[in-house]
């Protein structure tokens, strides 16, 4: 977490709504994207994303920096909100609902995929991965979180995240080659 972000968090902890608004502006798109990929529904994703930030605002005074960025704390709240959401509904997430431009944001990963493969092929391959693998791939290559941040969000060790990532990339390669 950089100094500017630390200052915003501290001001928000003291009740300054403008500081929290800046954090909201900075992280809303990433949280929305994460929630949308988990729910597959724009309305649910918008509602849950707003719920995440409302919950964060209500609990901001309890936030303590422990070596992880503020975004990790938000992702944890988002993951819990999605879990609570699915407790009352049967999951029916469809990776087909992900916009092509969303996957085009995959930084290095997209460049490594041979140009002859379309984003549809990549989306279909991601849809065939295990849920943990999908989470790690999206957090790593779309949201550009570090392995440490991902491990904090998912409650797994960094080693486990590296293994999940390795297996997911290997499986993606296999699925794309078979297509």
Please list the alpha-helical segments (H only) found in the chain. Answer: 3-13, 17-39, 42-59, 70-87, 100-103, 107-112, 119-127, 131-137, 147-154, 158-178
Q: Could you report the per-residue pLDDT of 120-153, keeping only the tens digit for each? A: 777 778 888 998 898 898 888 877 888 998 998 8
Report how far residue 152's alpha carbon sits from residue 66's, in angstroms, rounded to the nearest whole number: 11
Tokens read off for 149: 């941040």
Answer yes or no: is pLDDT of 101 > 70.
no
Q: Report all structural domains of the chain as residue ranges with CATH numbers, in order of start.
A: 1-93 (1.10.1740.10), 95-179 (1.10.10.10)
Higher model confidence: residue 22 or residue 62? 22
Name the burial class of residue 137, with classes exposed (0-12), middle (13-18) and buried (19+) by CB atoms within 10 angstroms of its CB.
buried
User: Cα angle vertex 145, ends 144, 150, to 5°?
Assistant: 145
- How far is C-alpha 107 from the geometric centre of its chain's CA atoms? 15
C-beta separation of 130 from 124 below 8 A: no
φ and ψ at residue 92, rounded to 5 degrees: -150, 50
Grade residue 55 by pLDDT with cuts at 50, 70 and 90. very high
């Amino acid at each position: 977490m950089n100094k500017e972000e630390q200052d915003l968090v501290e001001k928000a902890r003291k009740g300054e709504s403008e500081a929290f608004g800046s954090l909201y502006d900075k992280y809303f798109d990433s949280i929305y994207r994460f929630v949308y990929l988990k729910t597959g529904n724009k309305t649910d994703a918008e509602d849950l994303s707003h719920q995440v930030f409302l919950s964060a605002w209500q609990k901001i005074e309890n936030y303590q920096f422990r070596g992880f960025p503020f975004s990790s704390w938000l992702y944890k709240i988002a993951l819990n909100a999605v879990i609570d959401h699915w407790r009352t509904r049967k999951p029916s997430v469809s990776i087909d609902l992900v916009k092509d431009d969303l996957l085009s944001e995959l930084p290095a990963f997209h460049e490594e995929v041979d140009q002859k493969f379309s984003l549809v092929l990549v989306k279909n391959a991601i849809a065939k991965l295990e849920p943990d693998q999908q989470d790690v791939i999206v957090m790593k290559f779309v949201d550009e979180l570090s392995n440490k941040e991902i491990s904090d969000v998912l409650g797994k060790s960094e080693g486990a995240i590296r293994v999940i990532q390795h297996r997911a990339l290997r499986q993606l390669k296999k699925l794309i080659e078979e297509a």
